[in-house]
Structure 1
């Protein structure tokens, strides 16, 4: 739960799922993970982070074409939609704050999870696969459904995330406060 602070007094305080509080001004745009006083690592995501942080460019393009958004503020499928999926699936394990009024943060929305950056990455991929599976299930072509299901049985989320992170050089995930 966010708590407003005195203007000029240090910004929003975000209560993390572990119960610790953090001043959102301690976060920077390059941060992907926060080493908390609780002893755990929390994934850090900001609305300015591109969805390509989690998914290949081609898949983001497909999702942008296929997924209709209903928000005038976020008319294009992006990170906020991915985090919305995570928040819906894990409501007690994601904390968020609207920091759009704080120019020192550099983002509009900040999310921090009870799990680390790698686990969040796996969850995002799993949820997108479920979304794709749901979309394919509505296809009229039984062969397309069967082919998709066969490929998904071969798909290893953990291996995909390992390869993708190595390819994208997501070493910034090791950055902590």
Structure 2
């Protein structure tokens, strides 16, 4: 039986990794991070946020062409990326399926123990590891050598800094400035 509630209520609380909780209705589509009562900032990710929040569109397209998903979520996207983060940091990420809650405007929610910048760095680090693993399975030693050489010059923190400066994080579409 459905639980009665006030019409328009965006009901429910989400228990955060820090032990605090937050009302689902307080997490709108434009929110990327919030200051918690615990004193820390927590990153917020929704299924409607594009993967270009973390990576340039050209790389998102390459990931979509390269990674075969085996679920009902379709091509590689934010839910898959957050799944990778959750797999690596299970105690640092909470997720909620809100697909039955028609009042919030999104279906999946993740809140992390990290702030949004640290989450961005984690996402980049994990995708680089994924790419390195994929290249290592190629039967082309030259490709692996070239990838390793390029990664020697790649600074995750610097990439994230520059990328965040060039993006518009004020709306849910995270478009280039």
TM-score greater than 0.5 by the shorter chain: yes
The structure whose residues are more often helix, as a share, is 1
Unaligned 5+ runs, structure 1: none
Partner Cα separation in structure 2 for residue 161 and residue 109 of structure 1:
24
State the 4+ residue runs in structure 1 displaced beyond 6 angstroms: none
Q: Report whether the alignment pairs 1:120 with 2:112.
A: no
Cα deviations by residue, 1:27-55 (Å, 9 ceiling, x for unpaired): 11000001101110000000010000000
Q: Report whether the alignment pairs 1:15 with 2:12.
A: no
Using the TM superposition, give the Cα deviation of residue 12 of structure 1 relative to its aligned residue in structure 2, in angstroms: 2.3
Partner Cα separation in structure 2 for residue 27 and residue 7 of structure 1:
22
Q: Name 1:28's counterpart in structure 2.
A: 28
Partner Cα separation in structure 2 for residue 20 and residue 170 of structure 1:
25
Using the TM superposition, give the Cα deviation of residue 144 of structure 1 relative to its aligned residue in structure 2, in angstroms: 0.8
Distance 1:43 1:100, change over 3 A: same
Q: Name 2:37's counterpart in structure 1.
A: 37
Q: Report whether the alignment pairs 1:97 with 2:96.
A: yes
Using the TM superposition, give the Cα deviation of residue 164 of structure 1 relative to its aligned residue in structure 2, in angstroms: 0.4
Using the TM superposition, give the Cα deviation of residue 170 of structure 1 relative to its aligned residue in structure 2, in angstroms: 2.8
Count the aligned residue pairs.
168
Q: Name 1:82's counterpart in structure 2.
A: 81
Contact 1:12 1:99 in 2 (8 A): no
Q: Name 1:130's counterpart in structure 2.
A: 129
What is the TM-score when the length of structure 2 is the normalising length? 0.91
